[in-house]
C-alpha cells in the first residue's frame, strides 16, 4: 500500500496572504477550494454543542459531553442571538490597550486539516447508509449525491446579502433566517467532528480521511465561534490521524505549529490579560492570599516556578510598598527556560521596586522545572518563603504513579514554605480513554471560544493570537500521548488528593479574599463570569463562564507547620 498524502493547504504565513500546500509531495501552490469566508451571524459554539447532544447522545465518544446540556436561555440573556451589529454595540467594552498594540498582523498561521476528499468508492453518500470504505452519514446531516454539497456556501450567502441590502441593515425575518441557517451549519459541523473522532477511535482511516476533508472545507479560523472551534479541533485530529497511521498518511506541518514560540505566547497572554478577567483573576486572588501570609514579615522570598514576563508581581510590589510596615527585603526567584526573558523580567521588576523604594533582589534560575534543585533557589534563613505554581503542576503528571509531581512537591517542601499558591485549569483532560478526553476538551474549549467571541470582533488579529495559543493546547491533548502530552489537566478534587499525598494541606481563602475576587469581575460588565467555591468552605476558588468551570486557584501549606502560623488560616 502506498503512502497517502494528507493535504493541509489552508496555511497563511504571517508575511503574505498566499495559501500554501503543506504536503510532503507537492510544491507550494494556491488552492481555491479552501478559502477563508466572511464571518456570518454569531451563534454560540456552546449552544451548538448543547443541541448536538440530542443527536449524538447514543455515541460513546460524546456521552460525557452531551449528558450536560446547556439552556439557550442563558445565551439570550447575553445577547448571542441578536443581530451581530446591535449585539456588539450593546455588549462590547472599549479596550484600546488590548486591541491597539497587535493589529499589525491580519492573517493567522493555521493548519486547517483538509485531507484528500477523493476517497475511492465515496461518490454517493446516502442518508443512513454505508458503502464499502465510506463513512456512514446519518439522516441528521445533509446528504447529497455530490460530496461537495455537504459544505455550506457561506461566501455566496454573504455576497447575496451585500447585493440585496447595501446599507447593511438586516430585517428581522432575514436575520432569523440567517440565524437558523448558521445554527444548522454549526450542528452539521459538530456532527461531522464527532463522526471524524469516532472514525479515528475505531481505526477507520477511510472515514477519517473523508470527514477531515469535509471539516477542512467547512470550518474556518476566521469564521463564527463554532467554525473557529471546529477548525482547530480538525487540525488536532489531522495530527492524530497522521501519527496513528504513519504507514498510510504523511504530513509536513510548518515549524510554527510544532515548535511553540515563547514570544507569541507572551503576546497572547498580555492581550488575554487586557480583555478578559482570566489572568487578573488568577494573579489578583493569589496576591491577596500572599498579602495575608506576608503580614508582619520583614524578609520575604517568592519562588515563581514559571515567571515568564512577571505579570503577577507589579501589583504585589505596589501593595507591599503601601503597607504600614513594608518588608525590609523582597526577593523574587524566577524560574524559566529563556535566559533573555528572565533577564528582561528581572530588570523591569527591579526598576519598579526602586521607584517604590522597596528593597528588592531578583534571582533567575534558567532550567526546566523538573531539573531545578534546592541549591539553585538560594533559600536563606529567616525568610518567609512563598512558592508560586501557576498553570505548571499539570505538566508533571505524565509519569506513572505521579513520581515526577511528587519529586516537585518534595522540592517545594524542602524550601520550608509558609504558603504554596496554585492555579490550574479546572477540567478533566487527563483521561486515559482518548474518547472521553476528546469530549471533555470539546466541551471546555467551546466555552473558551465563546468568551473570546464575546470579547473580540470577528476580524481581530489579537483574537487570532489568543486562539492560536489555545489551539496549541487543543492539539497537544488531542493528538499526542505519553511524555509528548503535557496538557494533563485535572479537577480540584483530584489535585487535593495529590497535594495531600505530597504532604500539603489546603488552607483556603478568607471571606475578604473571596469578596475581592468577585468584585474584580464587576470591572468587566459581564454577568456570564462568576466565582464559585471548590472543595468546601472556600478551599479553592473557581472562575466560571456561564456553567463551565475554567480555572481554579488554591493555597496550601506543609502539613507539619500548617497550624503554626496564624497567617496561613483563611479566617
* Co-location of 144 and 253 in the same domain: yes
Confidence of residue 549 (pLDDT cuts 50, 70, 90): very high
Which of 442, 461, 484 corresponds to the end of one domain? 484
- Greatest mean pLDDT among 155-164, 312-321, 511-520 lies in 312-321
Q: Which residues contact 261 (CB under 8 A, 6 or more apart)?
A: none
User: How high is the pLDDT of residue 173?
Assistant: 63
Q: How far is CA 569 from CA 139, 320, 353, 507, 533, in A?
A: 59, 20, 29, 6, 16
Higher pLDDT, 434 or 58: 434
Higher pLDDT, 115 or 345: 345
Confidence of residue 399 (pLDDT cuts 50, 70, 90): confident
* Co-location of 393 and 422 in the same domain: yes
269 is a domain residue: no
Give the pLDDT confidence of 401-432 residue by residue, as tens digits: 899 999 999 999 999 999 999 999 999 999 98
User: How high is the pLDDT of residue 185?
Assistant: 82
* Co-location of 254 and 229 in the same domain: yes
**Is residue 192 over pLDDT 60?**
yes
Closest to 444 (Cα-Cα) out of 479, 481, 489: 489
Cell of 235: 487540525
* Co-location of 129 and 253 in the same domain: yes
Higher pLDDT, 80 or 371: 371
**Is residue 108 over pLDDT 90?**
no
* Co-location of 399 and 443 in the same domain: no
Task: Provide mean pLDDT across the span 92-117.
Answer: 38
**Is residue 556 over pLDDT 80?**
yes
CATH number reported for the structural domain that contains residue 511 in this entry: 3.40.50.150
**Is residue 558 over pLDDT 70?**
yes
The secondary structure of 261-273 as a DSSP string is -HHHHHHHHHHHH
Q: Which residues contact 524 (CB under 8 A, 6 or more apart)?
A: 93, 276, 277
Q: How far is CA 504 from CA 335, 409, 497, 500, 559, in A?
A: 22, 9, 10, 5, 5
* Co-location of 190 and 240 in the same domain: yes
* Co-location of 520 and 476 in the same domain: no
* Co-location of 465 and 508 in the same domain: no
* Co-location of 477 and 558 in the same domain: no
Q: Is 544 helix (H, G, I), strand (E, B) or coil?
A: strand
355 is a domain residue: yes
Task: Provide mean pLDDT across the span 8-14.
Answer: 36
307 is a domain residue: yes
98 is a domain residue: no
Confidence of residue 554 (pLDDT cuts 50, 70, 90): very high
Task: Provide mean pLDDT across the span 52-81.
Answer: 37
Cell of 464: 487570532
* Co-location of 215 and 68 in the same domain: yes
106 is a domain residue: no
199 is a domain residue: yes
Count the domains in the chain.
2
Which of 461, 484, 507 corresponds to the end of one domain? 484
459 is a domain residue: yes
Q: Which residues contact 119 (CB under 8 A, 6 or more apart)?
A: 133, 134, 206, 209, 210, 213
Handedness of CA 144, 146, 152, 157 (dihedral sign): negative
Task: Provide mean pLDDT across the span 196-201.
Answer: 96
309 is a domain residue: yes
State which residues form the domain around 458. 4-33+43-89+111-259+430-484
The secondary structure of 297-321 as a DSSP string is -SEEEEEETT-TT-TTHHHHHHHHH
Give the pLDDT confidence of 479-501 residue by residue, as tens digits: 999 999 999 999 999 999 999 99
User: How high is the pLDDT of residue 145?
Assistant: 32
Mean pLDDT of all residues belonging to the chain: 74
* Co-location of 54 and 115 in the same domain: yes
* Co-location of 251 and 291 in the same domain: no
CA angle 86, 161, 73 (to 5 degrees): 40
Cell of 448: 473558551
Amino acid at each position: 500500500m502506498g503512502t497517502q498524502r494528507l493535504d493541509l493547504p489552508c496555511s497563511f504565513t504571517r508575511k503574505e496572504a498566499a495559501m500554501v500546500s503543506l504536503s510532503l509531495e507537492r510544491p507550494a501552490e494556491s488552492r481555491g477550494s479552501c478559502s477563508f469566508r466572511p464571518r456570518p451571524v454569531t451563534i454560540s459554539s456552546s449552544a451548538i454543542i448543547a443541541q448536538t447532544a440530542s443527536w449524538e447522545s447514543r455515541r460513546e465518544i460524546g456521552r460525557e459531553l452531551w449528558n450536560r446540556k446547556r439552556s439557550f436561555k442563558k445565551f439570550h440573556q447575553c445577547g448571542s442571538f441578536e443581530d451581530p451589529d446591535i449585539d456588539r454595540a450593546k455588549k462590547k467594552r472599549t479596550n484600546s490597550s488590548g486591541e491597539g498594540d497587535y493589529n499589525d498582523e491580519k492573517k493567522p498561521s493555521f493548519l486547517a486539516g483538509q485531507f484528500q476528499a477523493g476517497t475511492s468508492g465515496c461518490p454517493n453518500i446516502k442518508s443512513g447508509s454505508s458503502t464499502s470504505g465510506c463513512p456512514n452519514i446519518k439522516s441528521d446531516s445533509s446528504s447529497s449525491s455530490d460530496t461537495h454539497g455537504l459544505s455550506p456556501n457561506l461566501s455566496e450567502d454573504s455576497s447575496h446579502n451585500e447585493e440585496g441590502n447595501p446599507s447593511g441593515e438586516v430585517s428581522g425575518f432575514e436575520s432569523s433566517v440567517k440565524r437558523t441557517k448558521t445554527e444548522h451549519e454549526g450542528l452539521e459541523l459538530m456532527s461531522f467532528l464527532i463522526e471524524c473522532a469516532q472514525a479515528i477511535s475505531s481505526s477507520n482511516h477511510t472515514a477519517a480521511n473523508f470527514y477531515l476533508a469535509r471539516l477542512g472545507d467547512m470550518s474556518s479560523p476566521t469564521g463564527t465561534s463554532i467554525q473557529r472551534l471546529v477548525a482547530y479541533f480538525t487540525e488536532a485530529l489531522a495530527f492524530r490521524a497522521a501519527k496513528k497511521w504513519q504507514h498510510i498518511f504523511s504530513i509536513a506541518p510548518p515549524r510554527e505549529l510544532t515548535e511553540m514560540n515563547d514570544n507569541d505566547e507572551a503576546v497572547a497572554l498580555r492581550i488575554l490579560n487586557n480583555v478578559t478577567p482570566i489572568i487578573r483573576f488568577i494573579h489578583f486572588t493569589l496576591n491577596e492570599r500572599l498579602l495575608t501570609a506576608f503580614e508582619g514579615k520583614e524578609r520575604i522570598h517568592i519562588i515563581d516556578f514559571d515567571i515568564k514576563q512577571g505579570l503577577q508581581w507589579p501589583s504585589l510590589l505596589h501593595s507591599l510598598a503601601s503597607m504600614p510596615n513594608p518588608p525590609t527585603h523582597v526577593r523574587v526567584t524566577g524560574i524559566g527556560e529563556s535566559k533573555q526573558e528572565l533577564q528582561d523580567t528581572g530588570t523591569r521588576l527591579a526598576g519598579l521596586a526602586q521607584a517604590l523604594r522597596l528593597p528588592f533582589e531578583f534571582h533567575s534560575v534558567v532550567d526546566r522545572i523538573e531539573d531545578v534543585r534546592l541549591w539553585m533557589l538560594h533559600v536563606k534563613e529567616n525568610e518567609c518563603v512563598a512558592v508560586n505554581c501557576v498553570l505548571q503542576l499539570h505538566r508533571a503528571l505524565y509519569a506513572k504513579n505521579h513520581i515526577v509531581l511528587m519529586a516537585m512537591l518534595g522540592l517545594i517542601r524542602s524550601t520550608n514554605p509558609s504558603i504554596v499558591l496554585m492555579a490550574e485549569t479546572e477540567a478533566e483532560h487527563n483521561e486515559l480513554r482518548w474518547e472521553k478526553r476528546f469530549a471533555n476538551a470539546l466541551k471546555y474549549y467551546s466555552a473558551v471560544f465563546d468568551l473570546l467571541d464575546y470579547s473580540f470582533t470577528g476580524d481581530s488579529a489579537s483574537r487570532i493570537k489568543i486562539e492560536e495559543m489555545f489551539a496549541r493546547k487543543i492539539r497537544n491533548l488531542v493528538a499526542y500521548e505519553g511524555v509528548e502530552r503535557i496538557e494533563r489537566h485535572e479537577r480540584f478534587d483530584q489535585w487535593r488528593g495529590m497535594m495531600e499525598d505530597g504532604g500539603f494541606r489546603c488552607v483556603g481563602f478568607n471571606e475578604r479574599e473571596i469578596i475581592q475576587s468577585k468584585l474584580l469581575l464587576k470591572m468587566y460588565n459581564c454577568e456570564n463570569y462568576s466565582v464559585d467555591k471548590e472543595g468546601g468552605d472556600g478551599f479553592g476558588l473557581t472562575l466560571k463562564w456561564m456553567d463551565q468551570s475554567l480555572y481554579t486557584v488554591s493555597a496550601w501549606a506543609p502539613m507539619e507547620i500548617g497550624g503554626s502560623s496564624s497567617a496561613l488560616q483563611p479566617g
